[in-house]
Chain A
Amino acid sequence: MTEAAELDRPQPGASPAPAPLLSVKNIEVVYDDVILVLRGLSLDVPQGAIVALLGANGAGKSTTLKAISGLLKTEDGEVTRGEIVFDGERIDGVDPDKIVRRGIFQVMEGRRIVSDMTSLENLRLGAFTRSDRNVAADIDMVYNYFPRLKERTGLAGYLSGGEQQMLAIGRALMARPKMILMDEPSMGLSPLLVKEVFSIIKQINRDLGVTILLVEQNARAALSVASHGYIMEQGKVVLDGTADELRDNEDVKEFYLGGAGDQRKSFKNLKSFKRRKRWL
């Protein structure tokens, strides 16, 4: 343990609220040295919580997760301002494989399982950074959460979309991370399956104490499991609050929870919504 990390810790009794496990402070992210995508984004994720990050297409949700996990580097992106603090240490600029070793695991958008390997091999890969002897036990644990993965012994590329999502979450569990960043787990799933996956996300959080930052288009599903949510637009957080507050917020109701279909109306409203909101 370094001295600096020691100093960063809140002294007992000194501060009422414990420091969040993850704290993103006013970051700016640029791709290819010119494309500015995040413009001063801040968010906190408390230890043991599920926090939802919502927003329209292209708002920068995935970019935020990649900034935290370090995968930004693999896409020629860079955090050019602000800082990201995890477990008392700065992690912006750290290589993605080292960030996994510190306990953050990202389940990327579109599952990204290794399709020319079996499910079991994918799960074993999730445990790549571990050297303890409980890997086999954890494979059983994942099969407990997702029994149908055990039945599918063929190549993972032939699994259904839902099964692939389960495999992607299971693979994340195999790393025994402190925190999982989930990017749109509901993508392409039937409503019934969305329900199932989200109830398992909740279970995982409760049983294993894994902190989860959840990016979603499906705001209703996300707010049903999250304790807290952030809404972002064009690279910034425009609104945040507890899940209940957000659910009851008229604007959120209209744009994120309302009936689907009327694209034009919601687009127009999106603009006024933006103007009215405070900037964090």
Chain B
Amino acid sequence: MNTHLLIQLLVNGLVVGTLYGVVAMSFVLIYKATQVVNFAQGELLLIGAWVCWALLAKYQVPFYVGMPLTLVFMFAFGIAIQIVVLRPMIGEPIISVIMVTIALSTVFQATLKWIFGVNPQPFPQIFTSQSVSIGGLQIQTVYVMSLVVSIAMMIGMAWFFKVSKYGLAMRATAFDQQVAQSLGISVKSVFAMAWAISATVSAVAGVVVAVVNGVSSGLSAYGIKVFPAAILGGLDSIGGAVLGGIIIGLLENIAQYIDSEYLHWGNLYEIAPFYVLIIILMIKPYGLFGTKDIERI
């Protein structure tokens, strides 16, 4: 048994998994607040990554300025998508709205290729040291950063929903839009805010991935991973999405280990999460943490 490889892959799984968790969390945020399944989530990562890359590599802006600028841009961009594209769709059948997000994803992909070209770009160096040693284990600095940033985003999200009044308003809107309005909450603003926060959080994840792997259109593949992660956790549970993401990340890497050590099939890590997903959904159809409605009203 190759312990070193196993540990390496588990660490890898944890890091990638928390990142999946962050993206799944921002996907569930939109779903929960607005009932829209966003097929353009991965492209939000990609847009964030390209914008940050452009600021840093093209305009030579330092990272501590470029990153906040990227976030401000993405916040505004999220509001703009909601107002321009999705608000007119309110009241339309949900399938139409889903088609619109699929169209959005294609339009974003094409536009980004048009603006930034089709070649992957390396991200400017942000850290001076390549790796740090934690408990005798050599871990790349970018991995540590990824983990720290992901966890910070999760804590931020938990605070938002548990403590801030806008988070409570968003939960109330998800629960019952009429009740929310009777409390003085503007449902339109909540929808716009959901997109804004989701786009911003996704952009952070996008930049983290870009720092590790460079920027390329393949980065939006993270948007596909949110489906097993979010469905596993239960589509409407933010905490479930986080856990779902971590599980998918770990599963991929465990599958990779089993594959490379024993089976040698070659692509087990890509499909294993989906098999597990199917099994879990057979046992728990609403996902691990999906809503079990309280019966008494």
- The distance from the CB of A73 to the nearest CB of chain B, in whole angstroms, is 8
In the complex, residue of chain B having the shortest beta-carbon distance to the beta carbon of A111? B297
Report the stretch among A94-102, A212-220, A225-233, A244-252 that lies at the interface.
A94-102
Q: Which of B169, B177, B297 has the largest number of chain A CB atoms within 10 A?
A: B297
Residues in A with CB closer than 8 Å to B169 are 125, 128
**What is the CA–CA distance of A124 and B172 in the complex, to the nearest angstrom?**
11
**A140 part of interface (Cβ distance < 8 Å):** no
A44-73 toward B: CB 8 Å interface, digit per residue (1/0)? 000000000000000000000000011100
Is B184 within 8 A of A115, CB to CB? no
**B168 part of interface (Cβ distance < 8 Å):** yes
Residues in A with CB closer than 8 Å to B178 are 71, 74-75, 108, 112
Tally of contact residues, B, Cβ under 8 A: 21
Residues in A with CB closer than 8 Å to B176 are 112, 114
In the complex, residue of chain A having the shortest beta-carbon distance to the beta carbon of B294? A157
**What is the CA–CA distance of A101 and B294 in the complex, to the nearest angstrom?**
31
**What is the CA–CA distance of A69 and B165 in the complex, to the nearest angstrom?**
22
Residues in B with CB closer than 8 Å to A100 are 182-184
**A6 part of interface (Cβ distance < 8 Å):** no
Is B294 within 8 A of A97, CB to CB? no
Is A125 within 8 A of B172, CB to CB? yes
Residues in A with CB closer than 8 Å to B179 are 108, 112, 114
**B272 part of interface (Cβ distance < 8 Å):** no
| Partner among A75, A128, A157, A175 whose Cβ is within 8 Å of the Cβ of B296 | A157
| Partner among B171, B181, B291 whose Cβ is within 8 Å of the Cβ of A114 | B171
Tally of contact residues, A, Cβ under 8 A: 31
**What is the CA–CA distance of A249 and B181 in the complex, to the nearest angstrom?**
39
Residues in B with CB closer than 8 Å to A196 are none
- The distance from the CB of B1 to the nearest CB of chain A, in whole angstroms, is 45
- The distance from the CB of B107 to the nearest CB of chain A, in whole angstroms, is 32
Is A175 within 8 A of B184, CB to CB? yes
**A186 part of interface (Cβ distance < 8 Å):** no
In the complex, residue of chain B having the shortest beta-carbon distance to the beta carbon of A74? B178
Given contacts A74-B178, A114-B175, A158-B294, contact A129 B168 (CB under 8 A): no
**B213 part of interface (Cβ distance < 8 Å):** no
Is A115 within 8 A of B297, CB to CB? yes
Residues in B with CB closer than 8 Å to A97 are 181, 184-187
**What is the CA–CA distance of A110 and B179 in the complex, to the nearest angstrom?**
11
| Partner among B175, B177, B184, B296 whose Cβ is within 8 Å of the Cβ of A129 | B184
In the complex, residue of chain B having the shortest beta-carbon distance to the beta carbon of A73? B181
Is B182 within 8 A of A117, CB to CB? no
Residues in A with CB closer than 8 Å to B291 are 116
Q: Which of A97, A115, A158, A171 has the largest number of chain B CB atoms within 10 A?
A: A97
Question: Would you list 21 pairs from A and B whose C-beta atoms are within 8 A, ordered by A residue?
Answer: A74-B181, A75-B178, A96-B184, A97-B184, A97-B187, A105-B182, A108-B178, A110-B297, A112-B182, A114-B175, A116-B171, A117-B168, A125-B165, A125-B168, A127-B165, A128-B165, A128-B184, A128-B185, A155-B294, A158-B294, A175-B184
Interface residues of B (CB under 8 A from A): 165, 168-169, 171-172, 175-179, 181-187, 291, 294, 296-297
